[in-house]
Structure 1
Amino acid sequence: MKPDAASPSLSPAAPVPGGEARPRPSLKVWLMAVRPKTLTASLVPVAVGTGLAFGEQVGRWLPAIAALVGALLIQIGTNFTNDYYDFKKGADTEERLGPVRVTQSGLIAPSTVLAGAMACFGLAILSGSYLVWVGGWPIVIIGLSSVLCGYAYTGGPAPLAYHGLGDVFVFVFFGLVAVMGTYYVQALTVSSAAWLAAIPVGALGTALLVVNNLRDAKTDVKANKRTLIVRFGTGAGKAEYIVLLVASYATPFILYTFGLSSAWVFLSLLSAPLAVGPLRLVLGAEGAALNPALGGTARLQLVFGLLFALGLYLR
């Protein structure tokens, strides 16, 4: 996919070795690389973990803010790494069906994108030093494993996304680890409610990936990117999406049934109408027609997550 007249503007060209000129990326181009619409996957787990912590009267604002900064940096670093390695491995080509990727389109030099990823991971480790002071060695393990897996999602000798482990990575690190880690740095323990509250967060984050992989199934096959959908077919991907939605909406009932939340947790059910449109597209569309389902699932994750967090806070 080539940038056209509607593409973000570029600042004046800067000289590079060899006498050639490469456009210097503007702020808009860097924001494209950040992929702001995907950052709900970082915001929601911190909101849910913090909502639960304050609901149980163990919340602390400074650790919560530090957890959010770290989560955002890790995700942005992961997005940059994904942009770089999907281009290098041939997954992002001119046949790409999704939004423009800055490396594949030539908007930012590959080495610059990779350097940006390393900078984000480094800043995440730096910001995590405060959380280590608050929460001790468990935070060191959580932080380093999150950074390493963020890089290994598409980088390294055995990239997770290319071996069908992307779904597991998202569920674990953008669900279980992010929610319980956020809760832990405030409460210095992990409650049963925190374990359960992490399930819909991880499930909806994984649902985003499922839509992405359904859309890119044909190009992923050509790039030997063996996602679960490439391995087991689009039917399995559609079934996975349904299971993830069911798990998300079943969790509030489980929390309430076991006395781990008040009836306010059912506020999250108000987001259910937002699931209808994306679900219809997932079941009936393919290729580029799934792009609206990606945005719809992100909106669902954000609205569900914020209502869920509010419900966990209210007692």
Structure 2
Amino acid sequence: MSKFLHGCPPPSLVRVQGEDALDYLQSQLTIDLVKLGQDKIRYGLRLDKRGKTMAGMYVIKENAESFWLISRGSKANDLISLIEENLVADDVELIDESSAFFLITARGEEEQRVLDRLGLHKPKRGQIERSVESIAFIDSRLPPTTYSIILRKDQKPQAMGDAKSMDWEIIEVPRIESCLVAIPEEIGANDLPQEGNLEHDYIDFTKGCYLGQEVMARIHAMGNVRRKAYPIRFTSSMVPSLPCPLLKDGKKVGILKSAIKGKDGYIGMAILHEKGFAVLADNQIEIAETKIRIKAL
């Protein structure tokens, strides 16, 4: 994929502010926000007490009393409700700013054109480049060298020029090929972060208490989980209803979470039990209620 350009309103752009903003978010998310510096950005998770993955979001820290949360997988109202669940007497306010902004995702030739139009330099990984009205960052939850740019809605014509927004599914194919799970569509409320290989970059095991910490520490000490996300492929004339059980000799060994039309059939993300790991390469796993067999991508 030599280029990609997609523009849409951000599903979730939330400002968090107040005297207790840092302490409260620190208790809710898996990353250490005390160590997050100015003009830095990190992706973090909001877990429940069981350690299951409720949401994922980028966090930008303006100062100890002001943060931005950016999420593709959660709508703003849902994200705010989730983050507010444990608010009691904390001086924290969450404000949905999504309607005032526009989100551009660009890769290849298109990303430099958009950055140039907005007067932005290419950001380094983990950092943001900003102007008065826009912020750009490398999107670590999408294929390598994909950039996301948040800008004021009235800047859309300037940033997009005469280019047309492409179909989002175009970038879904290389995302799945890169084994980058979507949250919460592929790793969600019934799944542990480790099952989607999210623990290495998005959980800080040395930080203080946060929701799900005890479970994360226990799994970290044990060293493994019994299910894992795998990119798979299959040939079919139609997509099965998702999510869909995956069977080996009639017994469930996993679940198919997503399926995208590719060049040669479909590719998707499957969550496989350890019993399914060994037989995936042997083409012995079928999609339930079909004769369709999946293969490792």
Structure (1/2) with the larger strand percentage: 2
TM-score, with normalisation over the residues of structure 1?
0.26
TM-score, with normalisation over the residues of structure 2?
0.28
Structure (1/2) with the larger helix percentage: 1
Which structure has more relative contact order (CA 8 Å, sep 6+)? It is: 1
